[in-house]
Structure 1
Amino acid sequence: MKRHAEPIQSAQNPKVKLWVQLLDKKGRDKQSAYLVEGIHLVQEAIRFEAGVQTLLYSAERGMPAEIEALLDSGAVAECIPVSEQVLAKCSDAQTPQPVIAIVNKAGGEAERLLVREDSLVVVVDGVQDPGNLGTIIRSADAVGATGVVLGKGTVDLYNPKTVRSTMGSLFHLPVVEADLLPLLAKAREQGVRLLNTSLQAKQSCYEADLTGPVWFVLGNEGKGVSPEVAAQIGEHVIIPMKGPAESLNVAMAATVLLFEAMRQRGLNK
Protein backbone atom coordinates (compact mmCIF):
# COMPACT_ATOMS: atom_id res chain seq x y z
CA MET A 1 0.00 0.00 0.00
CA LYS A 2 1.28 3.50 -0.86
CA ARG A 3 1.13 5.23 2.49
CA HIS A 4 2.92 8.38 1.26
CA ALA A 5 1.58 9.06 -2.21
CA GLU A 6 2.17 12.53 -3.59
CA PRO A 7 -0.60 15.00 -2.63
CA ILE A 8 -3.04 16.05 -5.33
CA GLN A 9 -3.96 19.72 -5.07
CA SER A 10 -5.69 20.49 -8.36
CA ALA A 11 -9.25 19.51 -9.19
CA GLN A 12 -8.12 19.41 -12.84
CA ASN A 13 -5.83 16.44 -12.19
CA PRO A 14 -6.69 13.51 -14.53
CA LYS A 15 -7.22 11.17 -11.57
CA VAL A 16 -9.64 13.61 -9.99
CA LYS A 17 -11.62 13.82 -13.22
CA LEU A 18 -12.03 10.04 -13.16
CA TRP A 19 -13.15 10.08 -9.51
CA VAL A 20 -15.69 12.81 -10.20
CA GLN A 21 -17.27 10.59 -12.86
CA LEU A 22 -18.20 8.17 -10.07
CA LEU A 23 -20.83 10.64 -8.89
CA ASP A 24 -22.91 9.54 -11.91
CA LYS A 25 -24.23 6.06 -12.66
CA LYS A 26 -22.69 6.09 -16.14
CA GLY A 27 -19.25 6.66 -14.65
CA ARG A 28 -19.78 4.04 -11.96
CA ASP A 29 -20.83 1.47 -14.54
CA LYS A 30 -17.88 2.31 -16.79
CA GLN A 31 -15.28 2.09 -14.02
CA SER A 32 -17.08 -0.62 -12.01
CA ALA A 33 -16.42 1.41 -8.88
CA TYR A 34 -18.21 3.84 -6.58
CA LEU A 35 -17.58 6.42 -3.85
CA VAL A 36 -17.92 5.91 -0.10
CA GLU A 37 -17.80 9.08 1.99
CA GLY A 38 -17.23 9.66 5.68
CA ILE A 39 -15.29 8.05 8.51
CA HIS A 40 -17.92 5.52 9.59
CA LEU A 41 -18.72 4.22 6.10
CA VAL A 42 -15.05 4.02 5.10
CA GLN A 43 -14.30 2.15 8.34
CA GLU A 44 -16.99 -0.41 7.50
CA ALA A 45 -15.75 -0.78 3.92
CA ILE A 46 -12.24 -1.54 5.20
CA ARG A 47 -13.34 -3.82 8.04
CA PHE A 48 -15.52 -5.94 5.78
CA GLU A 49 -12.98 -5.94 2.95
CA ALA A 50 -15.36 -4.38 0.45
CA GLY A 51 -12.63 -3.78 -2.13
CA VAL A 52 -11.26 -0.32 -1.32
CA GLN A 53 -8.86 0.56 -4.13
CA THR A 54 -8.01 4.16 -3.21
CA LEU A 55 -8.44 6.24 -0.08
CA LEU A 56 -8.56 10.03 -0.40
CA TYR A 57 -8.03 12.11 2.71
CA SER A 58 -7.62 15.79 3.51
CA ALA A 59 -4.00 16.86 3.26
CA GLU A 60 -4.91 19.78 5.51
CA ARG A 61 -6.70 17.78 8.22
CA GLY A 62 -4.67 14.57 7.92
CA MET A 63 -5.73 10.95 7.97
CA PRO A 64 -8.50 10.39 10.57
CA ALA A 65 -7.17 8.33 13.50
CA GLU A 66 -10.08 5.87 13.20
CA ILE A 67 -9.01 5.06 9.64
CA GLU A 68 -5.28 5.07 10.37
CA ALA A 69 -5.84 2.28 12.90
CA LEU A 70 -7.23 0.00 10.16
CA LEU A 71 -4.65 0.54 7.46
CA ASP A 72 -2.26 -2.20 8.58
CA SER A 73 -4.80 -4.79 7.49
CA GLY A 74 -3.72 -4.39 3.88
CA ALA A 75 -7.33 -3.94 2.73
CA VAL A 76 -6.56 -0.58 1.07
CA ALA A 77 -4.50 -0.43 -2.13
CA GLU A 78 -3.34 3.20 -1.86
CA CYS A 79 -3.85 6.37 0.18
CA ILE A 80 -3.65 9.81 -1.42
CA PRO A 81 -3.71 13.15 0.43
CA VAL A 82 -5.78 15.70 -1.50
CA SER A 83 -6.77 19.33 -1.16
CA GLU A 84 -10.10 20.40 0.31
CA GLN A 85 -11.03 21.51 -3.22
CA VAL A 86 -10.52 17.99 -4.53
CA LEU A 87 -12.53 16.45 -1.70
CA ALA A 88 -15.39 18.85 -2.38
CA LYS A 89 -15.25 18.05 -6.10
CA CYS A 90 -15.54 14.30 -5.42
CA SER A 91 -18.37 14.62 -2.90
CA ASP A 92 -22.10 15.04 -3.33
CA ALA A 93 -22.55 15.87 0.38
CA GLN A 94 -23.21 19.47 1.40
CA THR A 95 -20.29 19.29 3.83
CA PRO A 96 -17.39 17.31 2.32
CA GLN A 97 -16.14 14.52 4.56
CA PRO A 98 -12.47 14.25 5.59
CA VAL A 99 -12.08 10.91 3.83
CA ILE A 100 -13.50 9.32 0.67
CA ALA A 101 -12.90 5.78 -0.58
CA ILE A 102 -13.06 4.56 -4.15
CA VAL A 103 -14.46 1.04 -3.86
CA ASN A 104 -14.80 -1.72 -6.44
CA LYS A 105 -18.36 -2.80 -7.17
CA ALA A 106 -19.24 -6.10 -5.58
CA GLY A 107 -19.86 -9.11 -7.78
CA GLY A 108 -22.01 -12.10 -6.95
CA GLU A 109 -24.88 -14.01 -8.46
CA ALA A 110 -28.38 -13.94 -7.00
CA GLU A 111 -28.65 -17.72 -7.45
CA ARG A 112 -26.31 -18.27 -4.51
CA LEU A 113 -29.10 -17.02 -2.24
CA LEU A 114 -31.06 -20.14 -3.17
CA VAL A 115 -28.52 -22.39 -1.45
CA ARG A 116 -29.68 -21.56 2.08
CA GLU A 117 -32.51 -23.82 3.24
CA ASP A 118 -33.83 -21.18 5.66
CA SER A 119 -33.22 -18.24 3.33
CA LEU A 120 -34.77 -14.89 4.24
CA VAL A 121 -34.42 -12.53 1.30
CA VAL A 122 -35.84 -9.13 0.37
CA VAL A 123 -36.60 -8.69 -3.33
CA VAL A 124 -36.86 -5.05 -4.42
CA ASP A 125 -38.84 -4.34 -7.58
CA GLY A 126 -38.60 -0.72 -8.71
CA VAL A 127 -38.07 1.15 -5.43
CA GLN A 128 -36.96 4.65 -6.45
CA ASP A 129 -36.03 6.48 -3.26
CA PRO A 130 -32.39 6.04 -2.10
CA GLY A 131 -33.44 6.45 1.52
CA ASN A 132 -36.03 3.70 1.23
CA LEU A 133 -33.59 1.29 -0.38
CA GLY A 134 -30.94 2.10 2.24
CA THR A 135 -33.41 1.47 5.07
CA ILE A 136 -34.49 -1.85 3.55
CA ILE A 137 -30.86 -2.97 3.39
CA ARG A 138 -30.23 -1.84 6.99
CA SER A 139 -33.29 -3.73 8.23
CA ALA A 140 -32.27 -6.86 6.32
CA ASP A 141 -28.82 -6.59 7.90
CA ALA A 142 -30.30 -6.06 11.37
CA VAL A 143 -32.31 -9.29 11.32
CA GLY A 144 -29.55 -11.39 9.76
CA ALA A 145 -31.30 -11.85 6.43
CA THR A 146 -29.64 -13.95 3.73
CA GLY A 147 -29.48 -11.07 1.25
CA VAL A 148 -31.24 -8.42 -0.81
CA VAL A 149 -32.04 -8.70 -4.54
CA LEU A 150 -32.53 -5.60 -6.67
CA GLY A 151 -34.61 -5.83 -9.82
CA LYS A 152 -34.37 -3.59 -12.87
CA GLY A 153 -35.85 -0.15 -12.37
CA THR A 154 -34.67 0.07 -8.76
CA VAL A 155 -32.58 3.09 -7.75
CA ASP A 156 -28.84 2.49 -8.22
CA LEU A 157 -27.37 0.73 -5.20
CA TYR A 158 -24.16 2.74 -5.61
CA ASN A 159 -25.82 6.15 -5.75
CA PRO A 160 -23.99 8.15 -3.02
CA LYS A 161 -27.31 8.84 -1.27
CA THR A 162 -28.15 5.13 -1.22
CA VAL A 163 -24.69 4.21 0.05
CA ARG A 164 -24.97 6.79 2.86
CA SER A 165 -28.44 5.65 3.86
CA THR A 166 -27.30 2.03 4.31
CA MET A 167 -25.03 3.21 7.16
CA GLY A 168 -22.53 0.48 6.27
CA SER A 169 -25.02 -2.41 6.01
CA LEU A 170 -24.24 -2.51 2.29
CA PHE A 171 -20.96 -4.21 3.25
CA HIS A 172 -22.46 -6.71 5.71
CA LEU A 173 -24.67 -8.92 3.54
CA PRO A 174 -25.04 -9.83 -0.14
CA VAL A 175 -26.89 -7.17 -2.14
CA VAL A 176 -27.15 -8.31 -5.75
CA GLU A 177 -28.84 -7.20 -8.96
CA ALA A 178 -30.85 -9.66 -11.01
CA ASP A 179 -33.49 -10.21 -13.67
CA LEU A 180 -36.37 -10.99 -11.32
CA LEU A 181 -38.64 -13.14 -13.47
CA PRO A 182 -36.29 -16.11 -14.06
CA LEU A 183 -34.86 -15.81 -10.54
CA LEU A 184 -38.26 -15.87 -8.84
CA ALA A 185 -39.40 -18.76 -11.03
CA LYS A 186 -36.33 -20.72 -9.98
CA ALA A 187 -36.87 -19.82 -6.34
CA ARG A 188 -40.44 -21.13 -6.47
CA GLU A 189 -39.24 -24.36 -8.08
CA GLN A 190 -36.88 -24.85 -5.14
CA GLY A 191 -39.60 -24.38 -2.55
CA VAL A 192 -39.13 -20.72 -1.68
CA ARG A 193 -42.35 -18.96 -0.70
CA LEU A 194 -42.75 -15.57 -2.36
CA LEU A 195 -44.76 -13.16 -0.25
CA ASN A 196 -45.79 -9.52 -0.39
CA THR A 197 -48.17 -7.16 1.35
CA SER A 198 -51.67 -6.32 0.22
CA LEU A 199 -54.42 -4.27 1.81
CA GLN A 200 -56.86 -6.89 0.50
CA ALA A 201 -55.05 -9.86 2.11
CA LYS A 202 -57.03 -11.97 4.58
CA GLN A 203 -54.00 -13.09 6.60
CA SER A 204 -51.90 -10.78 8.77
CA CYS A 205 -48.11 -10.95 8.76
CA TYR A 206 -48.32 -12.16 12.38
CA GLU A 207 -50.48 -15.14 11.41
CA ALA A 208 -48.36 -16.21 8.44
CA ASP A 209 -45.64 -18.81 8.93
CA LEU A 210 -42.36 -17.04 8.15
CA THR A 211 -40.00 -19.73 9.45
CA GLY A 212 -39.19 -21.51 6.19
CA PRO A 213 -37.44 -20.17 3.09
CA VAL A 214 -39.29 -16.89 2.50
CA TRP A 215 -38.59 -14.05 0.10
CA PHE A 216 -40.44 -10.78 0.66
CA VAL A 217 -41.17 -8.99 -2.62
CA LEU A 218 -41.49 -5.21 -2.33
CA GLY A 219 -42.55 -2.83 -5.07
CA ASN A 220 -42.34 0.75 -6.22
CA GLU A 221 -43.46 3.46 -3.79
CA GLY A 222 -46.40 4.55 -5.97
CA LYS A 223 -47.20 1.61 -8.27
CA GLY A 224 -46.23 -1.36 -6.12
CA VAL A 225 -44.92 -4.58 -7.63
CA SER A 226 -44.96 -4.82 -11.44
CA PRO A 227 -47.70 -7.04 -12.92
CA GLU A 228 -45.15 -9.53 -14.27
CA VAL A 229 -43.49 -9.95 -10.87
CA ALA A 230 -46.84 -9.97 -9.07
CA ALA A 231 -47.86 -12.99 -11.14
CA GLN A 232 -45.03 -14.96 -9.51
CA ILE A 233 -46.10 -14.21 -5.93
CA GLY A 234 -48.00 -16.95 -4.16
CA GLU A 235 -48.89 -15.38 -0.81
CA HIS A 236 -50.14 -12.02 0.40
CA VAL A 237 -50.31 -10.65 3.94
CA ILE A 238 -51.58 -7.48 5.50
CA ILE A 239 -49.77 -5.48 8.17
CA PRO A 240 -52.54 -4.69 10.66
CA MET A 241 -52.79 -1.07 11.79
CA LYS A 242 -54.77 0.29 14.70
CA GLY A 243 -54.64 3.97 13.75
CA PRO A 244 -56.17 5.77 10.76
CA ALA A 245 -52.99 5.73 8.62
CA GLU A 246 -53.78 4.36 5.18
CA SER A 247 -50.55 2.42 4.79
CA LEU A 248 -46.85 2.24 5.61
CA ASN A 249 -44.13 3.22 3.18
CA VAL A 250 -42.17 0.42 1.54
CA ALA A 251 -39.16 0.63 3.88
CA MET A 252 -41.33 0.57 7.00
CA ALA A 253 -43.33 -2.37 5.66
CA ALA A 254 -40.12 -4.26 4.91
CA THR A 255 -38.88 -3.62 8.43
CA VAL A 256 -42.09 -4.93 10.04
CA LEU A 257 -42.02 -8.10 7.92
CA LEU A 258 -38.33 -8.76 8.54
CA PHE A 259 -38.52 -8.33 12.28
CA GLU A 260 -41.59 -10.56 12.50
CA ALA A 261 -39.69 -13.21 10.53
CA MET A 262 -36.76 -12.87 12.93
CA ARG A 263 -39.09 -13.18 15.93
CA GLN A 264 -40.64 -16.36 14.54
CA ARG A 265 -37.28 -17.87 13.71
CA GLY A 266 -35.91 -17.17 17.19
CA LEU A 267 -33.67 -14.30 18.18
CA ASN A 268 -30.80 -16.58 19.25
CA LYS A 269 -30.72 -18.93 16.29
Structure 2
Amino acid sequence: MERKGTGRTGAEEVIRSLQNPRVKQWTELQSRKGREKTGRFVVEGHHLVQEALQSDAMPDTVVYSAERRDSCRELLEEAERQGIECVAVGEEVLAKCTDTGTPQPVFAVVPKLSWRPQDLLKASEQGGLVAVVDGMQDPGNLGTIIRSADAVGASGVLLGKGTVDLYNPKTVRSTMGSMFHLPVVQGDLTEWLPAAAERGVQVVSTSLQGAVSCYEHDFRKPTWFVIGNEGQGVSPEVQALAQHNVLIPMSGRAESLNAAMAATVVLFEAMRQRRMGL
Protein backbone atom coordinates (compact mmCIF):
# COMPACT_ATOMS: atom_id res chain seq x y z
CA MET A 1 0.00 0.00 0.00
CA GLU A 2 1.26 3.50 -0.83
CA ARG A 3 0.14 6.86 0.42
CA LYS A 4 1.64 10.25 1.14
CA GLY A 5 3.42 10.97 4.38
CA THR A 6 1.71 12.48 7.36
CA GLY A 7 4.31 14.90 8.69
CA ARG A 8 5.39 12.42 11.37
CA THR A 9 8.92 11.04 11.41
CA GLY A 10 7.81 7.68 12.75
CA ALA A 11 6.41 4.67 10.88
CA GLU A 12 5.04 6.22 7.70
CA GLU A 13 4.16 3.93 4.88
CA VAL A 14 6.71 4.18 2.11
CA ILE A 15 6.21 5.14 -1.54
CA ARG A 16 8.28 2.73 -3.61
CA SER A 17 6.55 2.60 -6.98
CA LEU A 18 7.98 4.80 -9.75
CA GLN A 19 4.47 4.90 -11.22
CA ASN A 20 3.01 6.59 -8.14
CA PRO A 21 1.29 9.86 -9.21
CA ARG A 22 3.26 11.90 -6.67
CA VAL A 23 6.55 10.47 -7.90
CA LYS A 24 5.60 11.50 -11.43
CA GLN A 25 4.83 15.02 -10.21
CA TRP A 26 8.18 15.31 -8.43
CA THR A 27 10.06 13.90 -11.41
CA GLU A 28 8.43 16.49 -13.64
CA LEU A 29 10.17 19.23 -11.64
CA GLN A 30 13.51 18.18 -13.14
CA SER A 31 12.44 19.95 -16.36
CA ARG A 32 11.99 23.67 -16.86
CA LYS A 33 8.58 23.04 -18.43
CA GLY A 34 7.47 21.13 -15.35
CA ARG A 35 8.72 23.84 -13.00
CA GLU A 36 6.96 26.57 -14.98
CA LYS A 37 3.71 24.58 -15.07
CA THR A 38 3.63 23.95 -11.33
CA GLY A 39 5.45 27.00 -9.96
CA ARG A 40 7.58 24.63 -7.89
CA PHE A 41 11.19 23.46 -7.82
CA VAL A 42 13.33 20.93 -5.95
CA VAL A 43 16.16 21.50 -3.48
CA GLU A 44 18.32 18.48 -2.67
CA GLY A 45 20.33 17.58 0.42
CA HIS A 46 20.48 18.50 4.10
CA HIS A 47 21.97 21.96 3.65
CA LEU A 48 19.61 23.26 0.99
CA VAL A 49 16.53 21.79 2.64
CA GLN A 50 17.57 23.43 5.92
CA GLU A 51 18.05 26.76 4.11
CA ALA A 52 14.58 26.43 2.61
CA LEU A 53 13.07 25.64 6.02
CA GLN A 54 14.69 28.76 7.47
CA SER A 55 13.53 31.02 4.63
CA ASP A 56 10.23 32.65 3.74
CA ALA A 57 9.86 30.13 0.89
CA MET A 58 8.04 27.51 2.94
CA PRO A 59 8.48 24.05 1.35
CA ASP A 60 5.31 22.22 0.40
CA THR A 61 6.78 18.79 1.06
CA VAL A 62 9.95 17.21 2.44
CA VAL A 63 10.72 13.81 0.88
CA TYR A 64 13.21 11.48 2.51
CA SER A 65 14.72 8.04 2.16
CA ALA A 66 12.99 5.49 4.37
CA GLU A 67 16.26 3.57 4.53
CA ARG A 68 18.24 6.62 5.65
CA ARG A 69 15.67 8.25 7.92
CA ASP A 70 18.05 8.52 10.88
CA SER A 71 20.50 10.67 8.92
CA CYS A 72 17.91 13.42 8.49
CA ARG A 73 15.77 12.96 11.61
CA GLU A 74 16.45 16.47 12.99
CA LEU A 75 15.55 18.01 9.64
CA LEU A 76 12.29 16.09 9.56
CA GLU A 77 11.46 17.14 13.11
CA GLU A 78 12.02 20.77 12.12
CA ALA A 79 9.74 20.33 9.11
CA GLU A 80 7.11 18.75 11.36
CA ARG A 81 7.26 21.69 13.76
CA GLN A 82 6.48 23.95 10.81
CA GLY A 83 3.55 21.78 9.76
CA ILE A 84 5.21 20.65 6.54
CA GLU A 85 4.29 17.30 5.03
CA CYS A 86 7.05 14.65 5.25
CA VAL A 87 6.95 11.71 2.82
CA ALA A 88 9.00 8.51 3.07
CA VAL A 89 10.16 6.95 -0.20
CA GLY A 90 12.38 4.11 -1.38
CA GLU A 91 15.85 4.66 -2.79
CA GLU A 92 14.73 4.09 -6.38
CA VAL A 93 12.12 6.81 -6.05
CA LEU A 94 14.69 9.16 -4.52
CA ALA A 95 17.05 8.57 -7.45
CA LYS A 96 14.25 9.13 -9.96
CA CYS A 97 13.22 12.48 -8.48
CA THR A 98 16.67 14.03 -8.00
CA ASP A 99 19.41 15.27 -10.29
CA THR A 100 22.60 14.06 -8.63
CA GLY A 101 24.29 10.75 -9.46
CA THR A 102 24.42 9.76 -5.80
CA PRO A 103 21.22 11.09 -4.26
CA GLN A 104 21.29 12.64 -0.82
CA PRO A 105 18.71 11.25 1.62
CA VAL A 106 16.30 14.17 1.47
CA PHE A 107 14.83 16.74 -0.89
CA ALA A 108 12.11 19.37 -0.64
CA VAL A 109 9.52 20.72 -3.06
CA VAL A 110 9.50 24.52 -2.76
CA PRO A 111 7.35 27.26 -4.36
CA LYS A 112 9.22 29.57 -6.71
CA LEU A 113 10.49 32.75 -5.08
CA SER A 114 8.07 35.68 -5.13
CA TRP A 115 10.49 38.61 -5.47
CA ARG A 116 9.90 41.22 -8.24
CA PRO A 117 12.17 43.76 -10.00
CA GLN A 118 10.34 46.52 -8.13
CA ASP A 119 11.88 45.16 -4.93
CA LEU A 120 15.34 45.86 -6.33
CA LEU A 121 14.37 49.41 -7.27
CA LYS A 122 13.25 50.09 -3.71
CA ALA A 123 16.52 48.74 -2.32
CA SER A 124 18.52 50.84 -4.78
CA GLU A 125 16.98 54.02 -3.45
CA GLN A 126 18.93 53.31 -0.25
CA GLY A 127 22.33 52.86 -1.90
CA GLY A 128 21.77 49.35 -3.16
CA LEU A 129 24.18 47.14 -5.10
CA VAL A 130 22.54 44.81 -7.63
CA ALA A 131 24.20 42.17 -9.80
CA VAL A 132 22.53 42.08 -13.23
CA VAL A 133 22.99 38.94 -15.35
CA ASP A 134 22.60 39.23 -19.12
CA GLY A 135 22.26 35.96 -21.03
CA MET A 136 24.50 33.75 -18.90
CA GLN A 137 24.16 30.09 -19.89
CA ASP A 138 26.17 28.10 -17.36
CA PRO A 139 24.17 27.17 -14.23
CA GLY A 140 27.33 26.91 -12.13
CA ASN A 141 28.38 30.43 -13.08
CA LEU A 142 24.97 31.82 -12.23
CA GLY A 143 24.97 30.04 -8.87
CA THR A 144 28.43 31.42 -8.09
CA ILE A 145 27.37 34.98 -8.89
CA ILE A 146 24.36 34.66 -6.58
CA ARG A 147 26.66 33.38 -3.81
CA SER A 148 29.10 36.25 -4.40
CA ALA A 149 26.28 38.80 -4.35
CA ASP A 150 25.11 37.31 -1.08
CA ALA A 151 28.64 37.36 0.33
CA VAL A 152 29.16 41.07 -0.32
CA GLY A 153 25.75 42.02 1.05
CA ALA A 154 24.27 43.01 -2.32
CA SER A 155 20.64 44.11 -2.49
CA GLY A 156 19.76 41.43 -5.01
CA VAL A 157 20.31 39.84 -8.42
CA LEU A 158 18.37 40.59 -11.61
CA LEU A 159 18.29 37.92 -14.33
CA GLY A 160 17.70 39.08 -17.89
CA LYS A 161 16.15 37.20 -20.78
CA GLY A 162 18.21 34.33 -22.15
CA THR A 163 19.80 33.57 -18.79
CA VAL A 164 19.81 29.98 -17.57
CA ASP A 165 16.86 29.05 -15.37
CA LEU A 166 17.37 30.02 -11.74
CA TYR A 167 15.58 26.80 -10.72
CA ASN A 168 17.77 24.49 -12.78
CA PRO A 169 18.95 21.84 -10.27
CA LYS A 170 22.61 22.67 -10.98
CA THR A 171 21.99 26.38 -10.43
CA VAL A 172 20.13 25.70 -7.19
CA ARG A 173 22.99 23.54 -5.88
CA SER A 174 25.60 26.11 -6.93
CA THR A 175 23.91 28.87 -4.92
CA MET A 176 24.50 26.82 -1.73
CA GLY A 177 21.38 28.36 -0.24
CA SER A 178 22.19 31.99 -1.13
CA MET A 179 19.13 32.14 -3.40
CA PHE A 180 17.09 32.17 -0.18
CA HIS A 181 19.10 35.03 1.37
CA LEU A 182 18.52 37.91 -1.06
CA PRO A 183 16.05 38.82 -3.81
CA VAL A 184 16.78 37.01 -7.09
CA VAL A 185 14.32 38.11 -9.77
CA GLN A 186 13.79 37.84 -13.50
CA GLY A 187 12.99 40.75 -15.79
CA ASP A 188 13.54 42.51 -19.10
CA LEU A 189 16.81 44.42 -18.78
CA THR A 190 15.81 46.92 -21.48
CA GLU A 191 12.92 47.89 -19.21
CA TRP A 192 14.47 47.72 -15.75
CA LEU A 193 17.93 49.20 -16.36
CA PRO A 194 16.44 52.52 -17.61
CA ALA A 195 13.98 52.44 -14.70
CA ALA A 196 16.90 52.12 -12.29
CA ALA A 197 18.83 54.90 -14.02
CA GLU A 198 15.82 57.21 -13.71
CA ARG A 199 16.02 56.72 -9.94
CA GLY A 200 19.66 57.77 -9.78
CA VAL A 201 21.26 54.35 -10.06
CA GLN A 202 24.50 54.08 -12.04
CA VAL A 203 24.48 51.21 -14.53
CA VAL A 204 27.99 49.75 -14.83
CA SER A 205 29.15 47.08 -17.26
CA THR A 206 32.38 45.26 -18.03
CA SER A 207 33.83 46.27 -21.39
CA LEU A 208 37.20 46.85 -23.04
CA GLN A 209 35.97 49.95 -24.86
CA GLY A 210 36.17 53.24 -23.02
CA ALA A 211 36.66 51.37 -19.77
CA VAL A 212 38.49 52.33 -16.59
CA SER A 213 39.92 50.00 -13.98
CA CYS A 214 37.30 48.64 -11.61
CA TYR A 215 39.62 49.83 -8.81
CA GLU A 216 39.32 53.43 -10.00
CA HIS A 217 35.57 53.54 -10.49
CA ASP A 218 33.39 54.78 -7.62
CA PHE A 219 31.03 51.99 -6.57
CA ARG A 220 29.83 53.77 -3.44
CA LYS A 221 26.83 55.17 -5.30
CA PRO A 222 23.72 53.04 -5.91
CA THR A 223 24.93 50.62 -8.57
CA TRP A 224 23.57 47.96 -10.87
CA PHE A 225 26.51 45.98 -12.24
CA VAL A 226 25.92 44.03 -15.48
CA ILE A 227 27.62 40.68 -16.16
CA GLY A 228 27.30 39.22 -19.64
CA ASN A 229 27.29 35.89 -21.43
CA GLU A 230 30.36 33.66 -20.98
CA GLY A 231 31.36 33.82 -24.63
CA GLN A 232 29.83 37.00 -26.06
CA GLY A 233 29.81 39.26 -23.03
CA VAL A 234 27.07 41.85 -22.51
CA SER A 235 24.62 42.04 -25.42
CA PRO A 236 24.75 45.21 -27.57
CA GLU A 237 21.26 46.36 -26.58
CA VAL A 238 22.07 46.05 -22.89
CA GLN A 239 25.57 47.50 -23.28
CA ALA A 240 23.97 50.60 -24.82
CA LEU A 241 22.15 51.17 -21.53
CA ALA A 242 25.34 51.17 -19.42
CA GLN A 243 26.56 54.55 -18.25
CA HIS A 244 30.01 53.35 -17.18
CA ASN A 245 32.37 50.63 -18.39
CA VAL A 246 35.00 48.99 -16.21
CA LEU A 247 37.67 46.37 -16.74
CA ILE A 248 39.70 44.18 -14.41
CA PRO A 249 43.43 44.86 -14.84
CA MET A 250 45.57 41.73 -15.07
CA SER A 251 49.35 41.30 -14.81
CA GLY A 252 49.65 37.75 -16.10
CA ARG A 253 49.15 36.21 -19.51
CA ALA A 254 45.55 35.05 -19.11
CA GLU A 255 43.35 36.53 -21.80
CA SER A 256 40.30 36.84 -19.56
CA LEU A 257 38.59 35.63 -16.41
CA ASN A 258 35.66 33.28 -16.07
CA ALA A 259 32.44 35.34 -16.06
CA ALA A 260 31.53 34.38 -12.50
CA MET A 261 35.06 35.10 -11.27
CA ALA A 262 35.09 38.49 -12.98
CA ALA A 263 31.76 39.38 -11.42
CA THR A 264 33.06 38.30 -8.02
CA VAL A 265 36.15 40.52 -8.32
CA VAL A 266 34.04 43.58 -9.12
CA LEU A 267 31.44 42.86 -6.45
CA PHE A 268 34.10 42.51 -3.76
CA GLU A 269 35.76 45.73 -4.91
CA ALA A 270 32.38 47.44 -4.55
CA MET A 271 32.08 46.04 -1.03
CA ARG A 272 35.61 47.21 -0.14
CA GLN A 273 34.87 50.75 -1.31
CA ARG A 274 31.60 50.88 0.56
CA ARG A 275 33.24 49.72 3.78
CA MET A 276 36.55 51.54 3.57
CA GLY A 277 36.07 54.28 1.01
CA LEU A 278 38.17 54.71 -2.10
Cα distance, 1:65 vs structure 2: 3.5
Paired with 1:66 and 1:180, the residues of 2 have a C-alpha distance of: 42
Residue 44 of structure 1 is matched in structure 2 by 51
Residue 215 of structure 1 is matched in structure 2 by 224
Say which is worse superposed, 126-135 or 221-230, in terms of deviation.
221-230
Give the AA of the match of 1:106. L
Give the AA of the match of 2:244. E
Residue 98 of structure 1 is matched in structure 2 by 105
Q: Is the 8 A contact 1:193 1:214 kept in 2?
A: yes
The number of aligned residues is 266
Paired with 2:133 and 2:150, the residues of 1 have a C-alpha distance of: 15
Q: Is the 8 A contact 1:47 1:70 kept in 2?
A: no
Q: Percent identity?
A: 60
2:157 maps to 1:161: no
Deviation digits for residues 197-242 of structure 1 (CA, Å, limit 9, x no counterpart)? 1223441111110001001001111111111111100100111111
Deviation digits for residues 111-137 of structure 1 (CA, Å, limit 9, x no counterpart)? 121112211000101000001000000
TM-score normalised per structure 2: 0.92
Deviation digits for residues 29-55 of structure 1 (CA, Å, limit 9, x no counterpart)? 000000100111111111123220000
Say which is worse superposed, 221-230 or 160-169, in terms of deviation.
221-230
Paired with 2:60 and 2:8, the residues of 1 have a C-alpha distance of: 13
Residue 31 of structure 1 is matched in structure 2 by 38
More helix by share: 2
Cα distance, 1:3 vs structure 2: 1.9
Paired with 2:194 and 2:35, the residues of 1 have a C-alpha distance of: 30
Alignment of 1:166-181 (within 5 A): 166-181=175-190
Paired with 1:80 and 1:170, the residues of 2 have a C-alpha distance of: 25
Structure 1 ranges of 4+ moved more than 4 A? none
2:139 maps to 1:130: yes
Q: 5+ unaligned residues in a row in structure 2: which ranges?
A: 1-5
Give the AA of the match of 1:198. S
2:135 maps to 1:121: no
Residue 232 of structure 1 is matched in structure 2 by 241
Paired with 1:245 and 1:73, the residues of 2 have a C-alpha distance of: 52
Alignment of 1:190-209 (within 5 A): 190-209=199-218
Residue 67 of structure 1 is matched in structure 2 by 75
Q: 5+ unaligned residues in a row in structure 1: which ranges?
A: none
CA-based RMSD: 1.4
3-state SS of 2:213 partner:
coil
79, 82, 89: which one aligns with 1:82: 89
